[in-house]
Chains A and B, each alone.
Chain A
Amino acid sequence: MSYYDIDAILTDAEKIPCTFQLDVPDLGYLDNAPTQPLKAGTKVNLPLWLAEMLAIANTGDPEGRSFVTFDLPSALGNDVIQALKADPRAVPLRDQSPHFYGLATHMMDLVSEDKLPEVVRNTFVTRAAEVALHARKLGGVGSRGRTAAEEGSNLGFGGAGEEFLRGLDEWERKLFRKAHDGAKSGKEWMENIRKH
């Protein structure tokens, strides 16, 4: 993860639900009350980078409380995880978060959850195979020798896969691009042979 990686920066901007443990003066604007101090127990959605900092920062509190505690964001909530367990391909991850896997890796670093890593990993691998399948089919790569009409649509995303491809998160989109580039250059090479 490079310093200039735009996806890493955007992943850091994902909001996660936090609960303040301490009263913080002059932070009331986070809770739409600019003149009030921020009370302990207030729930606020904070970007990941800020939540992380506040959670691990030293507050000097005698009871050792940190500023905030945070929960898993809704993208990694119980119902999403259950749905992913049932069928990884049926969940449009992009609707949960455009940087689903980035967020998941971050959260797994911060929270130790037993099942989460396994489910996320299984999801990634299962969906990757599906991504590769669609990447090969698109643009008529898999339909050499057949006409465009027989293969369905060769223009843009075809038929049944469209729904799935819209639900890809950023990691999966990169994978899709790589797989598609490979298949495409293979097809170009194949056509070039005939010419020379």
Chain B
Amino acid sequence: MALPLPPGLTHAEVAFLAEMELVTVIPRQRLDSIDLLGGKTPPLRPPHRADLPLWLALLLKKQRRANILPPAWLHPASLADIIHAETKINPQAFSDPPPPPSRADPSRPGLARRQQGAGGNINNNNDDDDDGVYSGGLILSAPFRPSCTADAPAGYLPYHWLEVAEQLLAHAGDDVAAALGGGGTAASASSASSATILGEVRGLLRDLVEVRAAKLRSSTAALGSFGGGIMSLRGVGAMELAETRGFVLGVVDGVRKLGASVETARREAEEEGMDEGGDGESDEEMGF
């Protein structure tokens, strides 16, 4: 009551956290490694790709010092696949979060090994020049997982998908259009075709937001019957959580209040039943 803010993170806070996600950039100028609180950034050498935090990448993009390479899941085909999976294949659940990064195990052909926690000798950079401060080593949950870089798998939505996608579309739209439009550079892509691609991606994102919001709403229906009442939120993004947190908590709280009397009655009945059962047994024993 004392705090005016609702529980959980606000949209602005979530967006701020999302800026820590790593994205892949193609630098246009050399830039030495910068010593940030979160570690050193890889030094930028123009033809080589490098992974930078989103905020830094956007800053360089605005200064025309780098182009951003959008993640594969932002491709219209990938988004359409996800929408298809969400609506047709499994209309109840949310699409899976990206699998942990894995790499073929040379000692056991045909099998892959998770890279998470596998030690410090792993370097999953595209560029061998990188120090591997951000990538490599321990790979944890978002935003420490490189799920928005160019080599992130297509067909999976990472935790901060909506935030990163919106930021990229708003500030690096030409790069996104160029990368998704079939390999042309930003300069060669005609403005008309890039506009249609951006429009397509935006439309697909809108569809995805609506589909998933409808699912979040209807997932509360599972609370209707007694005994049910577990909602799986696996694969839900940070922004969606921020948006529906108040509502879902309200529903759960309401169901708890409505079920309180039944719950106490059931407990009392159980205790009585145990008592009676105990008495009955002792009576029988007395009888024998």
* A16 close to B (CB within 8 Å): no
* Stretch of B113-121, B122-130, B188-196, B220-228 at the chain-chain interface: B220-228
Contact B258 A181 (CB under 8 A): no
Residues in chain A near residue B245, CB distance under 8 A: 182
* Stretch of A59-67, A77-85, A123-131, A149-157 at the chain-chain interface: A123-131
A176 and chain B: residue at smallest CB distance: B247
Contact B217 A112 (CB under 8 A): no
- Expressed in whole angstroms, the minimum distance between the Cβ of A97 and any Cβ of chain B is 15
Interface size on A, residues (CB 8 A): 39
* B90 close to A (CB within 8 Å): no
Bound CA span A108–B265, Å: 10
* A174 close to B (CB within 8 Å): yes
Contact A125 B206 (CB under 8 A): no
- Taking a contact as CB atoms closer than 8 A, the residue among A109, A118, A175 that contacts B226 in the complex is A118
Q: Taking A181-B246, A182-B243, A190-B166 as contacts, is the C-beta distance between A125 and B251 under 8 angstroms?
A: yes
Q: Which of A120, A133, A190 is packed against the most chain B CB atoms within 10 Å?
A: A190
Chain B interface helix/strand/loop/mixed: helix
Residues in chain A near residue B15, CB distance under 8 A: 189, 193
Contact B224 A122 (CB under 8 A): yes
Contact A128 B251 (CB under 8 A): yes
A194 and chain B: residue at smallest CB distance: B170
Residues in chain A near residue B170, CB distance under 8 A: 193-194
* Residue interface mask B186-216, A partner, CB < 8 A = 1: 0000000000000000100010001001100
Residues in chain A near residue B249, CB distance under 8 A: 178
Contact B218 A129 (CB under 8 A): yes
Bound CA span A185–B14, Å: 12
Contact B246 A125 (CB under 8 A): no
Bound CA span A52–B177, Å: 68
> Besides the contacts A104-B258, A126-B221, A185-B11, what 18 more A-B pairs have beta carbons closer than 8 Å?
A101-B257, A117-B258, A124-B255, A125-B251, A129-B217, A129-B220, A132-B217, A133-B217, A175-B247, A175-B251, A178-B250, A179-B246, A182-B244, A182-B245, A185-B242, A186-B11, A189-B239, A193-B166
* B87 close to A (CB within 8 Å): no
Residues in chain A near residue B242, CB distance under 8 A: 182, 185-186
Within 8 A of B (CB), among A16-54: none
Chain A interface helix/strand/loop/mixed: helix
Bound CA span A121–B249, Å: 15
Contact A117 B261 (CB under 8 A): yes
Task: Enumerate 9 A-B pairs (CB-CB under 8 Å) in ascending A order.
Answer: A101-B257, A108-B262, A117-B226, A125-B255, A174-B250, A182-B245, A186-B11, A190-B166, A193-B167
Contact A129 B226 (CB under 8 A): no
Residues in chain A near residue B278, CB distance under 8 A: none
* B259 close to A (CB within 8 Å): yes
Bound CA span A181–B244, Å: 9
Interface on A for B, CB 8 Å cutoff? 2, 101, 104-105, 108-109, 112, 117-118, 120-122, 124-126, 128-129, 132-133, 135-136, 142, 144-145, 171, 174-175, 178-179, 181-183, 185-186, 188-190, 193-194
A-B contact count (CB 8 A): 108
- Expressed in whole angstroms, the minimum distance between the Cβ of A169 and any Cβ of chain B is 11
B10 and chain A: residue at smallest CB distance: A185
Instruction: In the A-B complex, list the 7 residue pairs whose CB atoms are closest, starting with the nearest.
Output: A178-B246, A179-B247, A189-B11, A108-B261, A125-B224, A182-B243, A132-B217
B246 and chain A: residue at smallest CB distance: A178
- Taking a contact as CB atoms closer than 8 A, the residue among B10, B11, B243, B255 that contacts A121 in the complex is B255
Residues in chain B near residue A194, CB distance under 8 A: 170
- Expressed in whole angstroms, the minimum distance between the Cβ of A100 and any Cβ of chain B is 11
* B260 close to A (CB within 8 Å): yes
- Taking a contact as CB atoms closer than 8 A, the residue among B166, B206, B225, B254 that contacts A122 in the complex is B225
Residues in chain B near residue A178, CB distance under 8 A: 6, 246-247, 249-250
* B12 close to A (CB within 8 Å): yes
- Expressed in whole angstroms, the minimum distance between the Cβ of B17 and any Cβ of chain A is 13
Residues in chain A near residue B224, CB distance under 8 A: 121-122, 125-126
Contact A105 B250 (CB under 8 A): no
- Taking a contact as CB atoms closer than 8 A, the residue among B254, B260, B262 that contacts A175 in the complex is B254
Contact B11 A188 (CB under 8 A): yes
Within 8 A of A (CB), among B244-287: 244-247, 249-251, 254-255, 257-262, 265
Contact B251 A145 (CB under 8 A): no
